[in-house]
Structure 1
Amino acid sequence: MSELLHLDLLKKGRVLLAFSGGVDSSALFHLLLKNNIQFDIAHVNYHTRPSSDEEEQSAIALAHQHNLQCHTHSCRLGGANFEHRAREERYRFFGYLMKKHHYTYLLTAHQLNDRLEWLMMQMCRGSGLPEILGIRSHDTREGIEILRPLLEWDRDSIETYLDEHKIPHHIDESNADERYTRNAFRHRYSAPMMREYRDAIRRSFRYLEEDNSSLIEPMNFIEVDSFAYAHNPPNIRSLVVGIDTFFKQYQGYLLSQHDKEALKRGGEHIIGRHTVVSIEGKYTFIAPYEPNVVMDKGFREECRKLKVGVKLRGYLYGTPEAMSIIRLLKGGLELPRFD
């Protein structure tokens, strides 16, 4: 393979490549050059290995060689659950760069093997179709548009491309450490399957994406400051996926399985001790959770008549604009939709 996904989008916007200097991002770097895409790179140094500083300097030198900007970030993350905290740290950095320099798209070098590993791990956690397709070629996270142009390339094809074009790259020795769950899945299961069934696996992911698009109706949340609302979709599965997506994209928060099961019952729920989700009739409302607010009798009575959730009322009492939206929606007047 030699083509990149979403090449038309890549040629229209300003692009930032998340660059580690490893196999996948090095291949994507040179494929972007080959296709005359204008881009810069961002590199995060976690200082976890003796070669970390060398890799950072290599990224800077490579960018300079091709007259590109190299944004770097240095951090040391102690404690447990390193993979999760490292992901959160780098996406904070990427988000800062996207806003400051007005990049249109963030590119990551996820490829087909990554996608299969994710699917396997999610299946072992009892996840559904939208979750096992968590790595998509065009996605959004906390307001950042993400493209994954290599998502139909498999690891062997990428390594062959690097060898044929004599492209230097770093090898992350931690990829061999099976104490990391993803590495265990990679070496024991996904790599052998990919070598045997690569083309069929690629086709299956295309079909799964098509099926997911037809089964899951998106929720289009409208935000007013810290308040958000959306029309409820026709089925519970779409509702839970829509709320889960909102929290991932705009709050960087992953709903637990307990949260998802609770949402299926409708009504009000406190997520992460700080946010209330109120599923009421035609609409879902999301707002900061503000307990122990003293409200006047008239306001409480109005909320009762409008059937506004009890946990939502504290925020609404101090936010007239959000309360005016509730009045319109609950009174049967439709606000304009932007979907």
Structure 2
Amino acid sequence: MLLQTTKELLQDSKNLLAFSAGGDSTALLFLLLENEIKFDIAIVDYGIREQSKDEIAYARELAAKYGFSCYEKAAQEITKNFEAEARSLRYGFFEELIEEYRYENLLTAHHLGDRLEWFLMQLCKGAGCVELSGMKTVEKRENYNLVRPLLHLDKQELLGYLNSKEIDYFEDETNSDESYQRNYFRHNFSEPLLQKYKSGIEKSFAYIDQDVDSLIEETEVKVVNQLAHFESKDRRTNLVYIDKYLKSCGELITANEKQELLKHESVVIGRKYIVTQDTKNVFIAPYVQATGLEKKLKEKFRVLEVPVKLRGYLASDVEALEFVSLLLE
């Protein structure tokens, strides 16, 4: 069921599987075992369901039985914006493990239904080709690859695999709660569409990926310490590369922030990063407020016309400042 290209990528790599004990990630775990691909797993307990304790126990049981490591995290209570905060916490945990243990690939169990849900949600919000394209099988992040080995399969195929092998898995009861936007789209739109038009949907995503690759002009992103730079194109193209770079840093741009980037030259993203763009250059750096700058440095910034909100970071990084100075002189 795994694609040959995916197996070749994972075969001799150090892999970390994002595990939940649900059907999707359990199917992926056993497919990896079946294909003799080595991996460890990481699981998060959000503490909102009694069943989560059993899921953790199942993860430990599988790790002991099949000889891989199981990393666990107990999350503190999330009181607002659960989906976004849970995602941030989850990926923060995964990336800590990736850095500490030098994993090359983070594997998630997103499947074709997840991709279609994303497509439909973006379509209803208002989105361009890149946003509609959404998930890729392999995405390059700052120091690892995010790999989705099941993106060509739908939920029914995964459940069929589990049932044929008599493999246990857990069903999250919150998956039936349509107050979550993703569940609403899944139950009312993506699942019925996949039942009838799976083959056509697969072909459409393949065409969309090809079209996006041909539409977006390749550009080199240079990174000096924590400063990223590339030559400015039009705002839509800039947005693609800004989004891609920040994703590699673990930061997701919100819909509102994307609209701001299309309208303004300087935008603070997630209170963490400053993005500045003009007709020639795009800079991305950690957002640091400029305070107590020496008079000489202030004058240098003024002469070079360094964007105001970029100055705080450049004042703290001599190499990045030298790089920017050479560009703007």
TM-score, normalised with respect to structure 1: 0.89
In the TM superposition, residue 66 of structure 1 has moved relative to its aligned partner by 1.0
Counterpart CA distance in 2 for 1:134 and 1:240 is 14
Aligned position for 2:79: 79
> Is the contact between residue 2 and residue 150 of structure 2 (CA under 8 Å) also seen in structure 1?
no
Aligned position for 1:59: 59
> Is the contact between residue 266 and residue 276 of structure 2 (CA under 8 Å) also seen in structure 1?
yes
Counterpart CA distance in 1 for 2:221 and 2:77 is 34
Aligned position for 2:266: 268
Aligned position for 2:21: 21
Aligned position for 1:187: 187
> Is the contact between residue 107 and residue 149 of structure 1 (CA under 8 Å) also seen in structure 2?
yes
In the TM superposition, residue 318 of structure 1 has moved relative to its aligned partner by 4.4
Aligned position for 1:127: 127
Aligned position for 1:244: 243
Counterpart CA distance in 2 for 1:19 and 1:114 is 16
Instruction: From the superposition, tell whether residues 4 and 217 of structure 1 become closer, same or farther in structure 2 (CA, over 3 Å).
Output: same
> Is the contact between residue 218 and residue 238 of structure 1 (CA under 8 Å) also seen in structure 2?
no
> Is the contact between residue 4 and residue 150 of structure 1 (CA under 8 Å) also seen in structure 2?
no
> Is the contact between residue 16 and residue 42 of structure 2 (CA under 8 Å) also seen in structure 1?
yes
User: Greater shift after overlay, 187-196 or 258-267?
Assistant: 258-267
Amino acid at match of 1:260: K
Amino acid at match of 1:253: E
Counterpart CA distance in 2 for 1:301 and 1:270 is 24
- The yes-or-no answer on 1:171 pairing with 2:171 is yes
Amino acid at match of 2:247: K
Q: Secondary structure at the match of 2:245?
A: helix
Instruction: From the superposition, tell whether residues 48 and 273 of structure 1 become closer, same or farther in structure 2 (CA, over 3 Å).
Output: closer
Identical pairs, percent:
39
In the TM superposition, residue 270 of structure 1 has moved relative to its aligned partner by 3.4
Aligned position for 1:10: 10
> Is the contact between residue 276 and residue 283 of structure 2 (CA under 8 Å) also seen in structure 1?
yes
Aligned position for 1:320: 318
Aligned position for 2:148: 148
Instruction: From the superposition, tell whether residues 67 and 202 of structure 1 become closer, same or farther in structure 2 (CA, over 3 Å).
Output: same
Amino acid at match of 2:75: C
- Greater share of residues in helix: 2
Amino acid at match of 1:55: E
Amino acid at match of 2:246: F
Structure 1 segments unaligned to the other structure (5+ residues): 332-339
* 226, 233, 257: which one aligns with 1:259: 257
Instruction: From the superposition, tell whether residues 202 and 268 of structure 1 become closer, same or farther in structure 2 (CA, over 3 Å).
Output: same
Amino acid at match of 2:235: I
Q: Secondary structure at the match of 1:73?
A: strand
Structure 2 segments unaligned to the other structure (5+ residues): none
TM-score, normalised with respect to structure 2: 0.91
Counterpart CA distance in 1 for 2:69 and 2:270 is 38
- Say how many residue pairs are matched: 328
